[in-house]
Amino acid sequence: MIFGLDISSSIIGLTFLNDDGDVLLNEAWDLRKIKNIFKKAEYVEERIADISMKISPKNIFIEQSLQSFRSGFSSASTLSLLSRFNGIVSWLCFKEFGILPEYIAATSARKECGIRIPKGQKAKKIVVQHIIDNVPDVSISYTRYGNPKAACYDKADSWVIAHAGWLICQKKEK
């Protein structure tokens, strides 16, 4: 069983896949109303503890936090916060499940899953469309304007991380 996470300080997407690669659980935890990083960590710790009573993964895969600046994207303080929070959630997973998380870059995970992002296109939109077209067990909900809700992008990204992890595990077993 695979546990895949897309961690941010605003919304965490998580997916559990069974040994056949089927979705057991796919959800998002909205942390936007929780302002303190330590309160966010407490919330996540409680959710992980709840899940651990029902599901025991064999592997944990987490989207690697951004390692460098890109023009028009996150500032140094944002990258630092994301990296700290990624470390906190990684520790919580290790503490609860006793499994050392493995990290996958988003681009590598998408490539592993066969998702190509055409030049100039937004990766998140392409990933959600891939989910809509190919993964019926991941539900996508919409705003009143017909756009996917924010949490759906994180749910989709966590599926990509989990599925890439599952594929990697399948290759190791052969």
Q: Which residue is it, tokens 């996917």?
A: 148
Any idea how long the chain is?
A: 174
Give the CATH number, domain containing residue 45.
Answer: 3.30.420.10
pLDDT of residue 69: 47
Alpha-carbon span 4 to 25, nearest angstrom = 10
Whole-number percent of the chain with pLDDT over 90: 84
Closest by Cα among 173, 169, 163, 174 to 109: 163
Sheet with 23-30, edge to edge strand ranges: 23-30, 11-17, 2-6, 59-63, 102-104
Distances (CA, A) of 174 to 112, 168, 169, 170, 171: 16, 10, 9, 7, 5
Q: How many domains does the chain have?
A: 1
What is the C-alpha end-to-end distance of the chain, expressed in Å?
17
Q: What is the pLDDT of residues 9-25, one digit of tens each?
A: 899 999 999 999 999 99
Q: What is the pLDDT of residues 85-114, one digit of tens each?
A: 999 999 999 999 999 999 999 999 999 999
Q: Give me the domain span that covers residue 100.
A: 2-173
For residue 114, the 8-state DSSP code is: T
Closest by Cα among 3, 33, 2, 27 to 13: 27
